[in-house]
Structure 1
């Protein structure tokens, strides 16, 4: 068992999730991760799991709890991204997008809420600016991320009386492996439309997550937009 407070991060192997692991480790948390790829070097314990599988998530959270102790903070950043015209999105693609993003949040929340309630903890979900603004070729991704905001706001109202804070961050296009080198979000023509003229960096999103977990004691159901000005 760790003597530190425990944070659980999904998708901690790369991108925003990896930056969150670094940030929360720096704030004194023992971090446990759930990730498809297995070991996350900076985490104290990692379980390889598909977050869309509710039973597997419950088992993985129990393993983290057994190794490190009760969970005080949760960050759900596991996900995937793809672009396609809505007429080309298969039923399977729609379902996978919703299972991973929306289902992953709900599965992890259900498994960790008893600990969060007992310890008056915090949960931060990683959404997207596309949940607010939408995007050409992003219907299924935007729908899944928009559903996350609905769950965050509803769950925040449900558990706030127990002292639990539920919030979200909504990054814009971020410089992570999820964006292919030829992604239109990396194109100079797109970047020139942003007030900051650049992609968001993973550590910038992680700092906002860290703030919501550690310092934003009155934030309940809030969404922090970290998007280089993509949505103002």
Structure 2
């Protein structure tokens, strides 16, 4: 990576994304964000990552403001639970557009920079992509598709010096989990070896590691889940 390093984080306004912004800033990156909730935050552009044209425009604006991008982290997403019989066709499509489509749109817009800088992209998936979950079919499917895309894209661009990897967090203590979420219930937490939710800074440390230190990692999935999947 170049000396003047610029990172792009989607979903950087809150939760895991905000923790990633803090971690990468601490490693010397200037961080720009694409997020639905920009709210005037510095170097943050309001973008729906499922909109390929809007992503391309947002990436171009950040590149013009901050410089060429040498690291990308795709955190933008949302979570909902529903029995499969109650998941509408629109809900299936939206889940895939935001999670898988968001990754693909950002990768397409940033790969020229990453190839030039021999940089890194880290996608945020979920332990549900690995282990599945009751009432999580569309979310788990979308996150599983991210893992498949990451491994395929990693093979496609590794010979050009670009590292593509993935982190798969377990239930994490962010606003995406409502106070009454079953993932916060004590009877669930007691099934975890660590007996607690994953914390956003823990996920961010893994993202930081893959971005800055793991120069040998290509197409890897790092599970950060308090032992939910061992």
Same structural fold, with TM-score higher than 0.5 when normalized by the shorter chain: yes
> What RMSD in Å do the two structures reach over aligned CA positions?
1.2
| Distance in 2, Cα, partners of 1:50 & 1:120 | 27
What residue is the counterpart of 2:127 in the other structure?
129
| Distance in 1, Cα, partners of 2:195 & 2:143 | 24
The alignment's TM-score, normalised by the length of structure 2, stands at: 0.98
| Distance in 2, Cα, partners of 1:40 & 1:198 | 34
| Distance in 1, Cα, partners of 2:13 & 2:191 | 31
What residue is the counterpart of 1:25 in the other structure?
25
The match for 2:107 among 106, 109, 115 is 109
Instruction: Kindly provide the CA deviation profile for residues 137-165 of structure 1, in whole angstroms up to 9, marking residues without a partner as x.
Output: 00000000000000000000000000000
What residue is the counterpart of 2:176 in the other structure?
178
Number of matched pairs: 229
| Distance in 1, Cα, partners of 2:162 & 2:10 | 19
Unpaired segments of 5 or more residues in structure 2? none
What residue is the counterpart of 1:11 in the other structure?
11
Cα distance change on mapping 1:220 and 1:40 into 2, 3 Å: farther
Residues 51 and 100 of structure 1 are in contact (CA less than 8 Å); yes or no, is this contact kept in structure 2?
A: yes
Moved over 3 A (4+): none
What residue is the counterpart of 2:52 in the other structure?
54
| Distance in 1, Cα, partners of 2:116 & 2:12 | 25
After TM superposition, the structure 1 stretch with the greater mean CA deviation from structure 2, 31-40 or 208-217, is 31-40
Instruction: Find the residue that maps to 1:199 and give its secondary structure.
Output: coil
Shift of 1:40: 6.8
Instruction: Find the residue that maps to 1:135 and give its secondary structure.
Output: coil
What residue is the counterpart of 1:93 in the other structure?
91
What residue is the counterpart of 1:72 in the other structure?
70
Shift of 1:39: 4.0
Instruction: Find the residue that maps to 2:96 and give its secondary structure.
Output: helix
Residues 12 and 40 of structure 1 are in contact (CA less than 8 Å); yes or no, is this contact kept in structure 2?
A: no
Shift of 1:120: 0.1
Residues 200 and 226 of structure 1 are in contact (CA less than 8 Å); yes or no, is this contact kept in structure 2?
A: yes
The match for 1:229 among 213, 227, 230 is 227
| Distance in 1, Cα, partners of 2:27 & 2:78 | 27
